[in-house]
Copies of this chain bind each other. A is one copy, B any other.
Amino acid sequence: MNQAPTDRTRIRRVANNAHYDSATLHAIIDDAYLCHIAFSEGKGAHCIPTACWREHDHLYIHGSNGSRMVKRLLESECCVTITHLDGLVLARSAFSHSMNYRSAMVYGRFEKVEDAGARQAMEAFMERIVPGRQADVRPGSDKEYAATTVLRISLAEAACKVRSGGPKDDEEDLSWPAWAGVLPWTRTALAPEPAPDCGIEAPVYVRDWQRGA
C-alpha cells in the first residue's frame, strides 16, 4: 500500500531547500501547535487543522471517538503538514520574490494509542502546551478519556523544506534600483487574559507567558 518513501517525500521543486534529517524535522514540529492533515474520502480530499505534538519519533493528535477525521485516519494513508512563515523576501525582479518558511510533511497512517499510553500522551500534550499546567488542572476522568481517541503517526517518512536568508536575483537584475531584503515576522505573546470569574492568582507559567512565548 505504501509507496517507497523516496517517491512520496522526494522534493522536486527548489530541491536544494530540502532537508531529511530528524533535527530539522523535530524543530519544525516542536515550534508548532497545529498541523494540517490531508486525507482522501470518496472523490475528494479534506484538509483539516488540528492540534499536534511530538514525542520521540511520532507526531500525536487527539479527537472525539466519533469524529469523521479520527475514523478516516485509522483507515487510510494521509499527509500531515506543518508550515511556519518567517518573512517576505523582496527581490529586485518581481518573479524572484519569495517567502522564508520552514515546512515539514509526514506521510503514513495514524495508529490508535491505547489506554495508559493515551493518558500519558495527553499529559505530555498539556506539558507541551504549557509546562507546569498539568499539576494545577482538574485531571481527566475515566469517562473523558474513554470518549477521546489519541492517534500517532511515525515520523519515518517525512521531508522538510526550508527557505531562509535574503533574495536571490539573477545577475542581470542586481543593478535594478529597487530595495532588496527580507521583511521578517515572529509570533509574539500578548498579555494573558484572565477569565472574568477567575479569582486565582496567575501562576508562574502565566506570568512568564509574555516573556517566553
Residues of A within 8 A of B (CB): 1, 3, 8, 12-13, 33-34, 36-40, 42-49, 51, 64, 67-68, 76-81, 83, 85, 87-88, 90-95, 97, 99, 101, 103, 105, 107, 122, 126, 129-130, 133-134, 136-141, 144, 148, 166-167, 173-174, 176-198, 200-203, 206, 209, 213
For A51, what are the chain B residues with a Cβ–Cβ distance below 8 Å? 99
Query: Given that A179-B201, A182-B192 are contacting pairs, would A81 and B47 also be in contact in the complex, using a CB cutoff of 8 Å?
Result: yes
Within the complex, which residue of B144, B180, B192 is in contact with A181, where a contact is CB–CB below 8 Å?
Answer: B192
For A43, what are the chain B residues with a Cβ–Cβ distance below 8 Å? 1, 3, 76-77
For A206, what are the chain B residues with a Cβ–Cβ distance below 8 Å? 90, 179, 181, 183
4 closest cross-chain pairs (CB), A and B: A38-B38, A38-B47, A44-B77, A38-B45
Bound-complex Cα distance A99 to B38 (A): 21
Q: Look across to chain B and name the residue whose beta carbon is closest to the beta carbon of A93.
A: B138
Q: Look across to chain B and name the residue whose beta carbon is closest to the beta carbon of A136.
A: B178
Bound-complex Cα distance A8 to B46 (A): 9
Main secondary structure of the interface of A (DSSP, over half): mixed
For A79, what are the chain B residues with a Cβ–Cβ distance below 8 Å? 38, 44-47
**A94-B139, A185-B188 provided; 19 other pairs, C-beta below 8 A?**
A1-B43, A12-B67, A43-B76, A44-B79, A44-B107, A45-B77, A48-B81, A87-B190, A88-B129, A90-B206, A93-B138, A93-B140, A166-B193, A178-B200, A179-B206, A180-B197, A181-B192, A181-B198, A183-B213
Within the complex, which residue of B33, B42, B47, B178 is in contact with A3, where a contact is CB–CB below 8 Å?
Answer: B42
Bound-complex Cα distance A44 to B45 (A): 9
Bound-complex Cα distance A94 to B124 (A): 12
Q: Look across to chain B and name the residue whose beta carbon is closest to the beta carbon of A14.
A: B64
Query: Given that A85-B33, A190-B185 are contacting pairs, would A94 and B78 also be in contact in the complex, using a CB cutoff of 8 Å?
Result: no
Q: Can you give 23 contacting A-B residue pairs, CB < 8 Å?
A: A3-B44, A13-B67, A33-B85, A36-B83, A44-B79, A45-B77, A45-B78, A88-B129, A91-B137, A94-B126, A94-B137, A94-B144, A95-B148, A174-B197, A179-B194, A179-B201, A179-B206, A183-B192, A184-B192, A184-B193, A185-B188, A185-B189, A187-B188
